[in-house]
Structure 1
Amino acid sequence: MKTVGVAMVEMLEQLETEVVFGIPGAHTIELYRGLAASRIRHITPRHEQGAGFMADGYARVSGKPGVCLLITGPGLTNALTAMAQAMQDSIPMLVITGVNPPESFGHGRGLLHELPDQQGLIRAMTPHTYSLRSAEDLPGALRAAFDVFESDRPGPVHIEIPTDLMSAPMPDYTIPPPSRRTPTADETAVQAAAELIRQAKAPLLLAGGGCNGAGDEVLKFAEQIDAPVISTANARAALGGHRLHVPASASLPAVRDVIASADLVIALGTEMGATDYDAYMDGGFPILQHFIRVDVDAVRFTQVPACDVSLHGHAAQTLAEIRALLPSAMGGTGDARAGALRAAVASVSDSAMAADLAVLKAVTDALPGGIIVGDSTQLVYSGNLFLPMAHSLLGWFNSATGYGTLGYAPPAAVGASLARPDVPVVCLVGDGGLQFSIAELAAAKDAKTPVVFLVWNNAGYREIETYMIDAEIAPIGIDPSCPDLMKIAAAYDMPGSRVEDLETLKATLADVKHASGPILIECVVSQEGF
């Protein structure tokens, strides 16, 4: 007899799921009955939050939704932080959980993993939550989830299956065809945008995470209208080392000056949130002369800055439609403006930031074409402000924007490596952030993922300490002790190296290109720097 739990796994396989992340429990073992006979690979994290972060990293690199199998109650609540990060960054994540039988809801009977209202709790995190009440509900719920991933602004989707239903018989089924349509920009709006672009003398592009997967089309468009492209952290890798790309934050004064001087700004797939556009919280983002916005989320058009033209659609398709209405080459000063801005940002970097960028350059030089997954840590903050890209990267993403979690990078890097095992993956994490998810080093070892865990050990929460001192607050709680990381590496049976200067780091990175499993490198940072 095929049960609902077995059918769920069977349907996931039909929808081309290759990897799932989870910790089995009494409320999900029926799903594992189906896994045993499937081609889907199961990865066991050490904590459900790690499962969510692994799914996030996997989704960003593979382009497929990351799937979690979690127990009722604490399994779900442990993963809420990861779901919130995915919601902020529009990452497709499917979280499948058990739930106690519906007739027990609200009665407080002390059942295992009981929550008063599990779906009500998760509804505050995502509008896309489905509670099955019969076996026949399953195909439609899964199709609804994948419609979100494929058509609209992605994010986490939750499906809960009552424990008694999970083992119930599953009748014959078919998965419904997709029902949601990709938004397409209005033809009149496309023509209006093309007219504004024809009139512009100094256009400028702002590229956000919605440009991932559309990098080639964005760069063709930039070349055609001869405009610099300023990227947010989530668009850096999509645009690489192109001559028109300025991988610098719109929070920096030099970048804001160029934005203010542009007679037309075109925003592509960016929510223009504070962590990208007002990182110093000074409210200094400039008033725009003319503004075109392209986004799959129509809500963005109701937010500031006000649009001259709003285009509801995906970046690649919408830009292709605009390009067809423009001259093949418009000429201008894009090259000169992009080059001057990159130089201006680099020249005003303070000594501490310059040292951070030298470390990042050492990483990208050693592992060109790799993926760098970052935590909320000093190196990553500097790279989000400005990331000189001599080599293109397959990925640069981190948790230091949007929701801003700690402990994200180690499990997310494991997920990224599972998505692209042929590509070097570097996890940038501080000694504080590592201790949020240090146990996931074991998951990396079990999965044989060749992740380089580069730990920036500055003996505490150095960035927070700086904020407190600048605010004339006595630093308290910013110096958590760190275990001996070389002993930790040995305990997890992985190579470990401790380095104290840039040249030693470069030499150490040169030896990790062909690693067959995870490696830990500890960068010991003194008060004077690295």
Structure 2
Amino acid sequence: MAVQTKRRVTGGVALVKALEAQGVRYVFGIPGVHTLEIYDALYDSDALSTVLPRHEQGAGFMADGYHRASGLPGVALTVTGPGVTNIATPLAQAFADSSRVLLIATNLERRYLGKLEGNLHEMTDQTAVVRPLVKWSYRVESADDILPAVTEAFKHLYTGRPRPVYVEIPLDVLEEETTFEPLDLVKPQPVPPAPHLVSRAAELLRQANRVFILAGGGAATEETAPLLRELAEELGAPVCTSLTGKGAIPEDHPYATGAFGYRWSPDNPIAFLMAASDLTIAIGTGLGIRTTAQGTMPLPTPLIHIDIDPDEIGKRYPAAVGIAADAALTLRALIEQVRAGARPADRWPVEEVQAVRRRILEPVDERTERYLPYLRALREALPRDGIIVNDMTMMCYEGVRYLPVYEPRTYLFPRGFGTLGSSLPTAIGAKLARPDRAVVSLNGDGGFQFTMEELGALAHYRLPVTVVIFNDSTHTAVKVAMRRSHPGRYLDVDLVNPDFVKIAEAYRIPAQRAGSPDQLTELLNHAVHGDGPMLIDVPIALERY
């Protein structure tokens, strides 16, 4: 929708009006003396709501979570200097996991930039700090430049691979006047597949016997997921998902194998389906070294590789056909070809696919088996469309394989950058994006303490987010790694924790302790149907040292 005003306004007002014109609903940030002009303009906005985290890192994770749950850009606003360095980590995570995040930051007045004269929040080159973490960055040089800069930022957010962008505005620019004119809403422009590449892919399908499908994060969207199911059903092809692809197909679908797990290993049951197929369709995945275990995953050849990022196609696995295009448009075109006769010679029997699925859900060892009752307790209590926000913790690692997911954008994981402590603020952003969905934040006790100050934001807005802490007073993943590499030589991994229940209650957030998986299910059932936040502390002792 275009904003129907044309008048002289300050740079701060122009920025807010530009965000309104792009349909932004929330701005995540902490006000400071370097953003007063922007917050004064936000005060008068009827379209934008501000969300106050307790740390700029929280602002970045909230913006990221907002995107992951909705597909819409998340917008964060920070002050000069430490505001920017504080938000750098979540910005890097958004880059690694392909999230649409817009960071707006102020900088010193233009006359002081790069001068190092002892100013507050002074840096040698603030733009240079952010540039490696975004796909596009721009420093505004005048108030007249604000409107086109914001419009250009949204064009980059919606073009190509989703990744963060950055707009920097010197303080004196915010006080300058400019003429505000109506702005058009920037809309995504999905890239269609080249017809000749679709035809080549169809020919490979005709020549195949059985097809195997690997779906990544680019397939776990509301637009692509239904088409993925259709394609699997038309081809009789099993669909395995990567970690970020969970939700691309319901994991109780007849052709769904589920995710292979946090790491690939040669003994994975899905290897059987790969070995007995002679064509792979990889959708929305870069086939990165963490997904494919350094390229050792035995994907059937030839490979049809579909990804929005042309740089990822053929980078690690040679592609017989590489289609750099929108996944939904490409699947729709392929389905038309299949229905016109481009079918493989054989279909995978559903019984064989489901036999692999059952093997995937069997614990690989006695250690894994100890985690499963808690994962089953989580799944039993959550609605099918509940949003699960993971942290980098052992329960979440096991959940990749053993916690079923049924809908796109309901499984959020800091996969690419592996940021410890991101779950709680990410969950807050996700809840604001999807107030109709139950949202649960899964944490380990160590990681939770990285950002537990965001309980303050949760209490402030009384958001119905359920925080679950699996608590063994240890940085467990690191201690397990020490056990494997240097048995018995443990250093700085055991923790003296606070009483998380009392901390939550100090914020006036209801909190209880779950002493068993059954109690976890009971408490979580109550929490997800409540109208406010809740914290559940779950003492565990699942590892053996």
* TM-score where L is the length of structure 2: 0.92
- 2:389 equivalent among 370, 373, 378: 373
Paired residue for 2:3?
A: none
Residue aligned with 2:287, SS = coil
Superposition pairs of residues 238-249 of structure 1, within 5 angstroms: 238-240=248-250, 241-249=252-260
Q: How far did residue 365 of structure 1 move?
A: 1.8
Q: How far did residue 45 of structure 1 move?
A: 0.4
Residue aligned with 2:259, SS = coil
Matched, 1:475 2:490: yes
Q: How far did residue 301 of structure 1 move?
A: 1.7
Point out where structure 1 has 5 or more consecutive residues left out of the alignment. Answer: none
CA contact (8 A) 1:233 1:397 kept: no
Distance 2:187 2:43 in 1: 31
CA contact (8 A) 2:214 2:282 kept: yes
Distance 1:81 1:33 in 2: 28
Distance 1:387 1:270 in 2: 21
Paired residue for 1:231?
A: 241
Matched, 1:218 2:234: no
Root-mean-square deviation over aligned CA pairs: 1.9
- 2:122 equivalent among 114, 117, 120: 114
Q: How far did residue 393 of structure 1 move?
A: 7.0
Count of residue correspondences: 524
Q: How far did residue 392 of structure 1 move?
A: 4.9
Residues 161-215 of structure 1 deviation map (CA, whole Å, 9 limit, x = unaligned): 0000011112133436759953222111100101111222210111111112310
CA contact (8 A) 2:100 2:164 kept: yes
Residues 401-458 of structure 1 deviation map (CA, whole Å, 9 limit, x = unaligned): 2110011000000111111112110000000010000100110111111111000101
Q: Closer, same or farther in 2 for the Cα pair 1:506/1:175, shift >3 Å?
A: same
Superposition pairs of residues 412-451 of structure 1, within 5 angstroms: 412-451=426-465
Distance 1:432 1:315 in 2: 38
Matched, 1:16 2:16: no
Matched, 1:264 2:275: no
Q: Closer, same or farther in 2 for the Cα pair 1:449/1:149, shift >3 Å?
A: same
Matched, 1:292 2:308: no
2:198 maps to a residue whose letter is V
Q: How far did residue 114 of structure 1 move?
A: 0.9
Paired residue for 2:354?
A: 339
Distance 2:363 2:446 in 1: 29
CA contact (8 A) 2:97 2:416 kept: yes
Paired residue for 1:355?
A: 370
Paired residue for 2:404?
A: 388
Paired residue for 1:136?
A: 144
- 1:462 equivalent among 454, 473, 476: 476
Residues 16-73 of structure 1 deviation map (CA, whole Å, 9 limit, x = unaligned): 1111100000111111111111121111001001000001111111221000110011
CA contact (8 A) 1:95 1:156 kept: yes
Distance 2:232 2:461 in 1: 41
Q: Taking every aligned residue pair, what percent have the same amino acid on both sides?
A: 35
- 1:3 equivalent among 10, 16, 19: 10
Residues 331-357 of structure 1 deviation map (CA, whole Å, 9 limit, x = unaligned): 611523421221121235223323323
CA contact (8 A) 1:249 1:276 kept: no
1:525 maps to a residue whose letter is I
Residues 104-135 of structure 1 deviation map (CA, whole Å, 9 limit, x = unaligned): 22221111111110111111212310100012
Q: Closer, same or farther in 2 for the Cα pair 1:462/1:24, shift >3 Å?
A: same
Distance 1:337 1:100 in 2: 63
- 1:160 equivalent among 152, 168, 172: 168
Paired residue for 1:200?
A: 208
Distance 2:97 2:91 in 1: 10
- 1:308 equivalent among 320, 325, 343: 320
Distance 2:92 2:274 in 1: 31
Distance 1:316 1:68 in 2: 29
Point out where structure 2 has 5 or more consecutive residues left out of the alignment. Answer: 1-7
Residue aligned with 2:19, SS = helix
CA contact (8 A) 2:367 2:542 kept: no
Matched, 1:492 2:507: yes
Residue aligned with 1:526, SS = coil
Residues 439-478 of structure 1 deviation map (CA, whole Å, 9 limit, x = unaligned): 0011011111111100010111112111111102511111
CA contact (8 A) 1:371 1:423 kept: yes
Distance 2:14 2:189 in 1: 27
Distance 2:14 2:386 in 1: 37
Q: Closer, same or farther in 2 for the Cα pair 1:101/1:167, shift >3 Å?
A: same
